[in-house]
Structures are given as structure tokens and as C-alpha cells.
Amino acid sequence: MREFDYSLDYKSLNLREHPELYRVGRGEQGVLLVEPYKSEILPHWRFATPDVATESSDKIYQMFLEYLDQGDFVGADMARKFLQMGYTRARRYANHKGGKKYKGPVPDDKKGQSGSHGREELPRDDEDPIKAESARIFKQKWDLCRANDTYLEMKKAHHEKYKDVD
């Protein structure tokens, strides 16, 4: 798998017009960078309560299906990433009241990547059942995306078509 390319000028780049530049990367990489999808999906992304998470995840999953119907793999993958991020952020808030997992500031080189980068993890609080339920709701939709045959076929085709593009 090719790494997500953080060197591109995402503020001025439209990945719907240039899907050849898109790399899936790992996990949620690029979820808050890739346009026009960030602007289309982010306004619907919420997880404060189970009701809000249900409405949000339903809408984003519907967008995922619409992107697939349009043959837009990048859009579908970005919707999948937002659902994944709904799960991971809600889980973080379920485990850490206030959502802060590590001591100290975020390193400048983190760029949205997973991992502690050597920072000390804060102790977990008692699990917040509301955020845990929100996480469960997002996880259900994220799992549906990852198991979707059309998505999996499009992911493979995207990789094959653009594996030699730099």
C-alpha cells in the first residue's frame, strides 16, 4: 500500500478532478485534508450523543453509498474515513473525559498520524457510556463500508490503476 502523500497542496487541489493523486494510506490519514470531500462530509460529522451519532453515521454512510453509485472511489474512501474517525474519536472521549489522550502538545510532525510519538498517555477515566454507545454506532457503519464488495473492488482497481503514478 502506498503512503498518504502529505506533500501535496490540498488547499488548492480537487481530488475529484485528480483521483490519480489520491493514496488511501493508513486509517484516517488525510481525512481533514482531501477536498472537495472534507467540505462535503465534515458538516455531517458529529458524535456527542447516540442520537446525534446515529443521524451523523446514517448520513455519512448514505454519502458513502452515493459515492460508490457515482463510481467515485475517493469520495467513498473519504466517507469511510469519516466513519472510522467517528468511532476513534468517540472511543477516545469514552476513555478520556475531554478527549485528551496524551500529556503535552501535539508534535509539529504528527500531521494527523496515529501513535503517541513518544508522549506519555494519560490514565483512562471511567468509561463514558454515552460516548461508548456513539462509538459503537459509528463502528457498525464503518464495518459495513469495509465489507462492501463494491468498495473493495473499487479500492483494488484504484490501486492497480494508479500504482505507478507519482
Q: Where are the domains of the chain?
A: 1-16+31-102+124-166
Average pLDDT over residues 144-161: 97
CA dist., res. 113 & res. 125, Å (int):
24
In order of 38, 55, 78, 150, the CA distances from 45 in angstroms are 10, 9, 12, 23
Cell of 5: 502523500
For the ranges 32-36, 106-110, 153-157, the lowest mean pLDDT is seen at 106-110
Is residue 64 a contact partner of residue 154, using CB atoms and an 8 Å limit?
no
pLDDT reported for residue 115: 54
In terms of pLDDT, which residue wins out, 114 or 57?
57
Side-chain-side CA neighbours of 94 within 13 Å: the count stands at: 18
Predicted confidence (pLDDT) at residue 133 exceeds the cutoff of 70: yes
CA distance 64 to 80: 7
CA-wise closest residue to 115 among 127, 106, 124, 123: 106
Tens-digit pLDDT profile for residues 103-130: 556 555 545 445 555 666 655 557 778 8
- % of the chain exceeding 70 in pLDDT: 80
Please, which residues have CB within 8 angstroms of residue 107's CB and are 6 or more apart in sequence? 117, 119
Q: What angle do CA 119, 136, 131 make, to 5 degrees?
A: 60
Cβ burial of 101 (10 Å; 0-12, 13-18, 19+) is middle
| d(C-alpha 151, C-alpha 138), whole Å | 18
